[in-house]
Amino acid sequence: MTVMEQRGAYKPTPPPAWQPRTDPAPLLPDVRPYRVLGTEAAAQADPGLLRRLYAELVRGRRYNAQATALTKQGRLAVYPSSTGQEACEVAAALVLEDRDWLFPSYRDTLAAVARGVDPVQALTLLRGDWHTGYDPREHRVAPLCTPLATQLPHAVGLAHAARLKGDDVVALAMVGDGGSSEGDFHEALNFAAVWQAPVVFLVQNNGFAISVPLAKQTAAPSLAHKAVGYGMPGRLVDGNDAAAVHQVLADAVRRAREGGGPTLVEAITYRVEAHTNADDATRYRGDAEVETWRGHDPIALLEHELTERGLLDEEGIQAARNAAETMAADLRERMNQDPPLDPMDLFAHVYAEPTSQLREQQAQLRAELAAGQEGAH
């Protein structure tokens, strides 16, 4: 057969029928961030939960202020404050059951503390002492994670493993807007959706990744919209409305627990203070923007709701403040003590079997310490 004859024999056929594998519409976020405080939904909120959120917000803000003061006194190497973001921190901690796991980033010390981690132990890493400082298994809080987004695949792995073992465990992983550009973010969300892992991703969009504003971070309509590309629902919530964040996370946790798979929640909030005590935020943003956000403050919002509805009075406000002061005084006192540290601990928990280089360095340090002690006598 000639080539022309072969071409003549070819009859184009339409491609096999194609449809989207799932309907994308239910996965799309409502572009108006969900709010409870100051709306009709507030009447349905549990007063006990609102009061508890309030007490934790007040304690959390005081913790942030105290930790920042400790950096100025040289007691803490660095502190990434979550002032202005306390609603996300506290709601993330309170929404989980004891058997669940929290995977925080370096900005989420408050979430760890609100979940029960000792306030001093939660600062061990930032003090530069050694390792995590707390036992991650005690309160099921993974180490505060400095490499951006690396906690997310860990959370997915843990959640997937729990499901395979038949354990009723949900993992909640926290990450910043900047962290959403990392490869680990993509890999974690993709695996989570494919495996339908019981995991909830909470992105705190606080406007900046150090000096980089969100507009330079992504061209997506919102970070919550990214969920659709992975095949999981995306939700947008007012990150300064503690009741709303708690409700949206509670829905996502319930869904994950019931086998419905992962959810991506984007909380719109604002980092009121600098990235850390080592950063000068005035170099990349103006006071007016900060002031606007101060007007939508998580504590003031909840306090207003509670007092308007007669659920909180002067006495209650004072009691929350007093409890926060007691916590701060204890934190100060304990952080001002020098913990007994063994420099040899530097080598502990690095590898199950230390490498030859590590063994060499270990021997060198041991000899130097011994020589130092002899010199002291």
- Give the footprint of ligand TPP on this chain (CB under 6 A): 107, 146-148, 176-179, 206, 208-210, 271, 275
Q: Is 275 a catalytic residue?
A: yes
For ligand TPP, the closer CB: 104 or 133: 104
Tokens of 220: 């997506």
For ligand TPP, the closer CB: 111 or 209: 209
Q: Side by side, which strands form the sheet with 234-238?
A: 101-103, 171-176, 199-205, 263-268, 234-238
d(CA 218, CA 178): 9
Q: Is 271 a catalytic residue?
A: yes
Residue 39 C-beta: closest distance to ligand TPP, Å: 27
Residue 217 C-beta: closest distance to ligand TPP, Å: 8
For ligand TPP, the closer CB: 31 or 278: 278
For 214, other C-beta atoms within 10 Å of its C-beta total 18
Residue 7 C-beta: closest distance to ligand TPP, Å: 55
SS (H, E, C) 278-324: CCCHHHCCCHHHHHHHHCCCHHHHHHHHHHHCCCCCHHHHHHHHHHH
d(CA 148, CA 184): 8
d(CA 177, CA 126): 22
Catalytic residue among 52, 254, 257, 284: 284
Q: Cα–chain-centroid distance for residue 187? A: 18
For ligand TPP, the closer CB: 36 or 202: 202
Residue 121 C-beta: closest distance to ligand TPP, Å: 21
What is the DSSP-derived secondary structure letter of residue 78?
A: -
Catalytic residue among 59, 246, 255, 275: 275
Residue 22 C-beta: closest distance to ligand TPP, Å: 29
Question: Residues of 316-329 as b/e, b for ≥16 C-beta within 10 angstroms?
Answer: beeebeeebeebbe
For ligand TPP, the closer CB: 146 or 190: 146
For 100, other C-beta atoms within 10 Å of its C-beta total 21
For the annotated catalytic residues, the residue numbers are 271, 275, 284
